[in-house]
Amino acid sequence: MRRIANIITVVLFLQIAPSISCLELGTGLETGGDMRVCIAVETMSEDARQTNLSRELIKSKVELQLRRNGITPTDYATGIELGYFLYININIVGSAFGERIAFCRRVTYMVGNKRYEMLATTWHKGATGRYADNPRLLIDDLLDDIDIFCSEFLSANGK
């Protein structure tokens, strides 16, 4: 009886072990070497007219920084196909600002026999500071964080 229990244990382990050994702890930035990323920018402000920071300006500065670091910005349709994108959120309230960069992707998970899929943030970075009517301060903080993203993205993808 004990021998049968040991055999069953070994058989179960041999069935489970390959799936366990395939799992790796990642950074959340892995793309299989694809150096393309879609950018989504959202800005919020008490009074957007006072900030002189449009979504288009922020997006163009981020795209330029990505290109400088060897990452190709893509359009929305390609981003949907890739299954991941870079989300940038800028908030300005009074003399304070907050910026957040998030790498978001489709993730799947299992609960019992049911498979689920959703969009999740797998990497993020951000900063807060004093705006003081100088958009350059915010842009500098944002581009510093974009450089950190680029470094970690390139490292995760073998570049």
How far CA 106 is from CA of 12, 39, 114, 118, in Å, comes to 31, 15, 16, 5
Q: What's the predicted TM-score (pTM) here? A: 0.79
Three-state SS at 123: strand
Tell me, yes or no, whether 86 lies in a domain: yes
Report which of residues 17 and 61 the model is more confident about. 61
Report which of residues 3 and 135 the model is more confident about. 135
Mean pLDDT calculated for residue range 51-58: 82
Tell me, yes or no, whether 5 lies in a domain: no
Condensed to tens digits (0 to 9), the pLDDT of residues 59-96 reads 999 999 999 999 999 999 999 899 999 999 998 888 88
List the single range of 14-23, 41-50, 98-107, 142-151 with lowest mean pLDDT. Answer: 14-23
Reply yes or no on whether the pLDDT at 10 is more than 60. no
pLDDT at 138: 86
Tell me, yes or no, whether 64 lies in a domain: yes
Tell me, yes or no, whether 2 lies in a domain: no
pLDDT at 130: 82
**Minimal CA–CA distance to 139: which of 40, 30, 62, 39?**
62
Domain at 56, CATH number = 3.40.50
Domain of 39? 29-156
Q: How confident is the model at residue 47 (pLDDT cuts 50, 70, 90)?
A: low
Mean pLDDT calculated for residue range 112-137: 88
Total domains, the chain: 1
Tell me, yes or no, whether 14 lies in a domain: no
Reply yes or no on whether the pLDDT at 114 is more than 80. yes
Tell me, yes or no, whether 124 lies in a domain: yes
Backbone angles phi, psi at 54, to 5 degrees: -90, 160
Q: How confident is the model at residue 11 (pLDDT cuts 50, 70, 90)?
A: very low
